[in-house]
Structure 1
Amino acid sequence: MKRYLLLLLAIGVLAACKSKKSTGNGRVEPMTLEDFRDLFTATELPYKLQSDSLMRKQPDSLALDTADIHQFLTDTLTKGDFGKNEKVRFWPLQRIKGNVVDYLVVRAAGKSGTVAYLCFMDKKKGHFLKRIRVADNGSNGTFTSVNIDNKNVIKLTTEVPHGDTRDVQREDFYGVGADGTTTLIMTNSTSPSKPGEIYNPLDTLPRKHKFSGDYMSGDMSLVSIRDGEDGKTFQFFITFTKDNGNCKGEVSGVGQYLAGNRGEYKDKGSSCGISFQFSTGRVSIHEIGGCGAYRGIKCFFEGNFAKKAEKKTEKKKKK
């Protein structure tokens, strides 16, 4: 019996020591948020991280403990980017002071690829807010790099390989709020849509939620819904063309799911608001605030849209 008690005690001690730091005099103390932040190299804006830099091998001795990632950041940091049972290791890259939020850059590597996350940290209390994936070494067929300018505008550059060279496919510009919420400001595409097609900047993002997908009304009106940071939020992109092209609208952002299969978006920078009503295979939208900054004067963000079948499903049908 004593042996079992000693064994359990030893396991408990080892588990407790995982997230402790050495004081240099033989003692260990619990890791604090400040200790965790100090593991990242201090860097100033503007900041740039190229996808190729992710290929540099990082010393195992500098790897972050997964328990510390869960404690000081989030246990869903890699959600949607790696296999369910895939072993992923983390390394600290940079910490950056921003105007609205502060940033921590984390490198994550597994068998399926290597990516980097930009974590938004509250400036007052220092705690984790949200994260976005900002760099990819080609694990999903494209290479992504990030640049943050002095005004805290985040630019994600996506490149597509063509033989030994890469072509820039698009540049997405994001603003970030004090709560860590990102808003797509503008997209520059070097591969414009063909006549009768819509360029969707959210196309490659995860769509595991039951309401995630692309909803169409005609050929040139789209409501694109993608997974949010958690089950309570969603990313969206809406674009439409009406009156033979004389009235257009386009807006994107992060919405909140509400009770009763409903969703809602409220723009922090204006009075614009949009309600979403989801049903089986459909979504209807309606303006609940003035969104004139994102559309023509004589048209509104409203209407009914039918959900498109996903490409994988379409391929299966062809077989």
Structure 2
Amino acid sequence: MKRFLLLFLAIGVLAACKTKKKAGEGSGEQMTIADFQALFTPGTLPYKLTADTLQLKLPDSLRLDTAAMRFLTDTLSKGDFGRNENVKYFPLQRITGNAVNYIVVKAVGRTGAVGYLCFMNKKGKYLSRLRAATTEGDDSAVTSLLLDAKNVIKISNEKKLPGNRTALKEDFYGVNADGSVNLIMTNSNGPTNVGQIFNPIDTLPRKNKFSGDYTSGDMSIVSIRDGEDAKTFQFFITFSKDNGNCKGELSGKGHFIAGNKGEYKDKETSCGISFQFSAGRVNIREIGGCGAYRGIKCFFEGGFVKKAKKKV
């Protein structure tokens, strides 16, 4: 009887050990979305992510493996690390939001660490992400994130300048149910020439023939990046007119309605933008009231010339 009891206990211990093995890590079990979400620490709003948090070293045992990364995207850290750099990904937080849910992922490479705020739909499918926080890079700049209780995203970029001065730029975003974001407003005490514009979609793919950066003068840019399919595109527009007295910024997801024509309609306001693409140029005009995103005496309109892509 005692021998039978010991055998029974041994079998129970072995079974318990097997259940502790994570799905997808040689366990023979396919990882589910519930398994993936369980890797992240549950969090609540407001949530803050800073450079100091990114600098905290995490054990490799917490690293997201290939099975887990399947629930995100292969291009999560594209443009932020060297081509042959070995990048490790770590789960930080998962937070339930209004329009979307949030997953916070830390990427670590030889050159530093980057935090990404990923947008997931209510079923757990990855939609898109924002580059939300960084450690100090070669440009002496750091980026931090604040996601407040109303689901407003604030991304702050602080750069050290000569003479113990700093330039601070704060961008405020709202997020839609499809994962697209709208730039609500920008606060800045730093220079605003186009070479120093913070482009929130800069690292997204640009394989479409119309994707690229289009400029008009030194302080206005229309940035176009690939969408989730051939019928959509991501855009970011910022302009400054009348010696900086009239400014506007807007970002979102547009749709191609013809071969070289695109259109954007804001879900929160009556704002709409028409895009007319031609060889090396894009013309934009408002097709709805976009006063929430610009000054009252200027409009989203005009022609912009495509910049040549820098050779890497």
Give the TM-score band, short-chain normalised: 0.7 to 0.9
> Which deviates the most, 82-91 or 289-298?
289-298
Letter in 2 for 1:276: F
Structure 1: how far apart are the matches of 2:295 and 2:214?
23
Counterpart in the other structure of 2:305? 306
1:250 aligned to 2:248? yes
CA drift at 1:307: 3.5
Structure-2 residue corresponding to 1:59 = 59
Q: Comparing 222-231 with 108-117, which one deviates more in the overlay?
A: 222-231
Are 1:23 and 2:19 an aligned pair? yes
> Aligned equivalents of 2:45 and 2:237: distance in 1?
29
Please name the residue that 2:4 is paired with. none
Q: Is the 8 A contact 1:228 1:254 kept in 2?
A: no
1:299 shift after superposition: 5.3
Report the counterpart of residue 38 of structure 1 in structure 2.
38
**Partner of residue 50, structure 1:** 50
Residues 75-94 of structure 1 mapped to structure 2, 5 A cutoff: 75-94=74-93
CA RMSD of aligned residues (A): 3.3
SS at match of 1:30: coil
Deviation at 1:22, TM superposition (A): 4.8
**How much has 1:28 moved relative to structure 2?**
4.5
> Which amino acid letter does the alignment assign opposite residue 55 of structure 2?
M
How does the TM-score come out when normalised to structure 2? Answer: 0.78
Aligned to 1:131: 129
Distance 2:213 2:101 in 1: 32
Query: Residues 178 and 204 from structure 1, CA distance in 2 versus in 1: closer, same or farther, beyond 3 angstroms?
Result: closer
- Partner residue of 2:202 out of 205, 214, 235: 205
Amino acid at match of 1:43: G
The alignment status of 1:236 with 2:232, answered yes or no, reads: no
Aligned to 1:16: none
**CA distance in 1 between partners of 2:201 and 2:66 (Å):** 27
Cα 1:145/1:68, change in 2 over 3 Å: same
C-alpha displacement at 1:84, in angstroms?
A: 3.1
Q: How does 1:160-179 map to 2 (within 5 A)?
A: 160-162=159-161, 167-179=166-178
Going from structure 1 to structure 2, the CA distance change for 1:140 and 1:282 (only over 3 Å counts) comes to: farther
Residue equivalent to 1:150: 149
> Contact 1:206/1:226 (CA < 8 Å) preserved in 2?
no
Letter in 1 for 2:19: T
SS of alignment partner, residue 68 of structure 1: helix
Change in CA separation of 1:237 and 1:140 when aligned onto 2, cut-off 3 Å: farther
1 CA distance for matches of 2:124 and 2:195? 40
**Structure 2 unmatched runs, 5+:** 1-16
Residue aligned with 2:29, SS: strand
Q: Say if 1:279 and 1:295 are closer, same or farther in 2 by CA, change over 3 A.
A: same
The Cα of 1:31 is off from its aligned counterpart by 1.3
Amino acid at match of 2:202: L
1:178-189 residue pairs with structure 2 within 5 A?
178-189=177-188
More deviation in 256-265 or 181-190? Answer: 256-265
**3-state DSSP class of the match of 1:52?**
helix
The CA deviation at 1:257 is 5.1
* SS of alignment partner, residue 214 of structure 2: strand
- In structure 1, runs of 5+ residues without a counterpart are 1-20, 314-319
